[in-house]
Structure 1
Amino acid sequence: MKLKLLIAIAIAPFMAIAQKPDFTITGKIGNLNAPAKIYIDYSSEGKGKSDSATFVNGTFKFTGNIAGIASSRMTLSREGIRDKEIYGTKGLGDVIYVSFGKENIQINSADSLYNARWTGSKVYNELQAFDKEVGPTVMTVHHNANVAISRATPEQQKDSLYFKSLDKQVQAFRKSRGEKMLAFAKVNPDSYFALQALSESVSGYGIKSDVILPLFNKLSEPLRLSYTGQGLYKILNSTTVTALGSKAPDFTQKDVNGKAVSLSDFKGKYVLVEFWASWCSPCRAESPNLLKQYAVYKDKGFEILGVSVDHDKAKWIEAIKKDGLTWPQVSDLKGWESDARKVYGISGVPANFLIAPDGKIIGSHLMGEVLNKKLAELLN
């Protein structure tokens, strides 16, 4: 008994050292108090974690451990309900997507998380410089479009030309960012955000691997050998599997009722395999458009198969109900380790593949008006 006690005392200091947090985020946003809460979801080198904090006179604090640079989403809910703030505000929730390192960071704002000023983070400053060079993120573009819609006159909100004009602006921003990200990666081979740019180019813009692979090969060795780098490398070498004209890989996962559903079950129809997640704001922002397209074409040989990369079944089902999604939904609830995600080699969501009745892939990464035009060509 004494020996066990001595061993426990001996290893205690080492356990304390191992568990010491290597990042701290301290914030002050106005004078918020409970029930207001702030949430953070972050991942680093393949390991993720979620946390939350209640405001006390506007202050909050997060601490934790990360393996390297972390990608995160932070959400402020004045009602202390995370999902309501993100998805119940027509795209105007107080949500930000940021990267940070093993740093002591301060966040300050008089009114919101979205407008907060960050200090103490070299990684965050590099992210800001990156976004300034390549243009606003997809999330920022959609947020700004939703702000414009919320401020539009009643006449504008009924005008289809007004919405087409906004969509045209969104697509122009996306195209510009896609081009500039490749240029950034070319001239900044030592930057972590060069690797992020290439990953985003694959997942969000569908840029082909033969364009990205030469740029990837010129990145610094630490970046190429990192968890993110190796993940991207595997995706770049697997894109031939999902190239246009290729036979779509079949897979089987369970629906919300536990019934096994296979992609091959829908052979003979045009099928949009839609990868998404309950926690993905851009995914959920696309839901209204998918609902409209589904209503128009579901009786004309069109189907959607939603494939979630969630790990929490309750949140997955709740998101389906909140968004009113009526097409088949499946998930193996393995989160980012989803077998279907690995087979299709996607590095981010939303992502999709359009499959013809003969089972061949005829489109990928089709969003908004681009998807609408494609469906109209095929099914009208």
Structure 2
Amino acid sequence: MKIIKVAILILLIPVLIRAQAPNFSLTGKIGSLGAPAMAYIDYMDNGVGHEDSIALVNGNFKFTGHISGYTYARMALDHTGGGKGKAVYTGDVIYFYFGKEQVTISSKDSLQNAVFTGSKVYQEYEAYNKAIGGTIMALTKAVNIDFNKGTPEQQKDTAYVKAVDLRFRKKLQDRTDKQFQFTKEHPTSYFALVALSEAAGSKVDVSRVEPIFNALSQAYRETDMGKELAQRMAASRITAVGKAAPLFTQNNVVGKPVSLASLRGKVVLVEFWASWCGPCRAENPNLVKQYQTYKDKGFEIISVSLDHVKENWLEAIEKDGLDWIHVSDLKGWNNEVGRLYGVRAVPASFLVDAEGKIIGNGLRGEPLNKKLAEIFN
């Protein structure tokens, strides 16, 4: 029997090797950049995040890997050795889709001016963006240009700022409308799912989104993005104000399970955050103040982290002085509680009363403070 098991294992080895063999490559040529220039990539595959980095040699770099289908990537190029963080947030960075392809990315000077060849998926992505009016990044760049057309005096004028903001919001709404239209007109396109997922937003209008979603290809509905959108629709039904807060259990910082049910009888803020989230960290001083004010009156906070690196999570808790309950499964955006609650952006929060019903959604800053004062004072 042991011999047979060994023989079966030997037969399976080539299958396992083939399953993990690279099925994509991203080959770049950006001018003649060399040390200390670095290229960084982050991409999602079937709900799992991947990252890689490589030094440029005479402008050349190459990433390879294995993906299950279409994937969304962020690529950043550090020209001067400032590190990944600087490259991603203030440097030369692009966002794009690709598939099981051999893609070439080339430019004389930067990623932002690069030309893609060998990628049918990227061509589909470009056509999709053209149909809906551009990417969010492109619209944000355009509004900054619009604002900077004003004189210094105009830029200080609230009426001028409001006019620029209204134009920007109209373009965003036009883009959302076109995304819904694109989804209806191209139900067999992967980018119909991309469009619907983004247009649906965090607070999904299920009556509008669900019929369109059900008309999509079943194969796309069963992708991780499709499952996440289905979960978001389900969450919209069960996380509205007045509904019983969905129960969950997740491990705390020392690996001990903590349940929301165990906090029944207290007013609980279920707070979704992450160590890398600037707005989350900016709100923490206010949460600390509110917690100190009301914790002895029956207020509790359970923070659900969307981190995937435990050290970063623990460091942020200590640095910000967050003396309440913290849980995480360290799965990043795939955090099971986050998916249960339909969280698509952080910070996000749900205020739960002593009976376990949701009494506030997305409260932070002064609106949260006012609500807590009403409850406890």
Instruction: Report the TM-score when normalising by structure 2.
Output: 0.74
CA contact (8 A) 1:206 1:364 kept: no
1:195 deviates by: 0.9
- Aligned pairs for 1:51-90 within 5 A: 51-78=52-79, 79=81, 81-86=83-88
CA contact (8 A) 1:40 1:72 kept: yes
Q: Deviations over 1:284-314 (max 9, x none)?
A: 4645875798799999989987533221123
Distance of aligned partners of 1:10 and 1:235 in 2 relative to their CA distance in 1, 3 Å threshold: closer
CA contact (8 A) 1:294 1:303 kept: no
1:23 deviates by: 0.9
Letter in 2 for 1:110: K
- Aligned pairs for 1:186-205 within 5 A: 186-202=184-200, 204-205=201-202
Question: 2: CA distance between counterparts of 1:228 and 1:216?
Answer: 12
In structure 2, the residue matched to 1:249 is 246
Distance of aligned partners of 1:300 and 1:320 in 2 relative to their CA distance in 1, 3 Å threshold: closer
In structure 1, the residue matched to 2:38 is 37
- Aligned pairs for 1:278-289 within 5 A: 278=276, 284=277, 286=279
The answer as to 2:223 corresponding to 1:226 is yes
1:211 deviates by: 1.2
1:123 deviates by: 0.6
In structure 2, the residue matched to 1:281 is none
Distance of aligned partners of 1:379 and 1:201 in 2 relative to their CA distance in 1, 3 Å threshold: farther
Distance of aligned partners of 1:332 and 1:227 in 2 relative to their CA distance in 1, 3 Å threshold: closer
Distance of aligned partners of 1:318 and 1:196 in 2 relative to their CA distance in 1, 3 Å threshold: farther
Which of 200, 205, 210 in structure 2 is aligned with 1:208?
Answer: 205
CA contact (8 A) 2:307 2:330 kept: yes
Question: 1: CA distance between counterparts of 2:305 and 2:19?
Answer: 35
1:12 deviates by: 7.6
Which of 293, 316, 336 in structure 2 is aligned with 1:339?
Answer: 336
CA contact (8 A) 1:206 1:365 kept: no
Question: 1: CA distance between counterparts of 2:49 and 2:314?
Answer: 21
Question: 1: CA distance between counterparts of 2:149 and 2:32?
Answer: 27
Distance of aligned partners of 1:129 and 1:299 in 2 relative to their CA distance in 1, 3 Å threshold: farther
Question: 1: CA distance between counterparts of 2:155 and 2:293?
Answer: 29
Question: 2: CA distance between counterparts of 1:76 and 1:177?
Answer: 29
Deviates more, 1:173-182 or 1:57-66: 173-182
In structure 1, the residue matched to 2:114 is 116
In structure 2, the residue matched to 1:183 is 181
1:256 deviates by: 6.2
The answer as to 2:351 corresponding to 1:349 is no
In structure 1, the residue matched to 2:3 is none
Deviates more, 1:72-81 or 1:98-107: 72-81
SS in 1 for 2:111: coil
Letter in 1 for 2:212: L
Deviates more, 1:263-272 or 1:239-248: 263-272
Question: 1: CA distance between counterparts of 2:279 and 2:170?
Answer: 17
Question: 1: CA distance between counterparts of 2:141 and 2:321?
Answer: 22
Q: Deviations over 1:52-77 (max 9, x none)?
A: 11111111111111111111121222
Which of 95, 99, 102 in structure 1 is aligned with 2:93?
Answer: 95
1:164 deviates by: 5.0
1:27 deviates by: 0.8
Distance of aligned partners of 1:363 and 1:61 in 2 relative to their CA distance in 1, 3 Å threshold: farther
Letter in 2 for 1:111: D
In structure 1, the residue matched to 2:311 is 314
CA contact (8 A) 1:307 1:331 kept: yes
Distance of aligned partners of 1:246 and 1:257 in 2 relative to their CA distance in 1, 3 Å threshold: same
Question: 1: CA distance between counterparts of 2:152 and 2:184?
Answer: 46
The answer as to 2:139 corresponding to 1:125 is no
Letter in 2 for 1:355: L
Letter in 1 for 2:345: V
Question: 2: CA distance between counterparts of 1:149 and 1:325?
Answer: 38
Question: 1: CA distance between counterparts of 2:115 and 2:33?
Answer: 17
Distance of aligned partners of 1:363 and 1:206 in 2 relative to their CA distance in 1, 3 Å threshold: farther
SS in 1 for 2:112: coil
Question: 2: CA distance between counterparts of 1:153 and 1:257?
Answer: 55
Question: 2: CA distance between counterparts of 1:227 and 1:260?
Answer: 26
CA RMSD across the alignment: 4.6
Q: Deviations over 1:324-360 (max 9, x none)?
A: 79797653313344221132134x3346245376765
SS in 2 for 1:114: helix
Distance of aligned partners of 1:186 and 1:56 in 2 relative to their CA distance in 1, 3 Å threshold: same
* Structure 1 residue runs without a partner (length 5+): 279-283
SS in 1 for 2:90: coil
1:242 deviates by: 1.4
Q: Deviations over 1:132-167 (max 9, x none)?
A: 222333344445556778998876776666665554
CA contact (8 A) 2:46 2:224 kept: yes
Number of matched residues?
362
SS in 2 for 1:237: helix
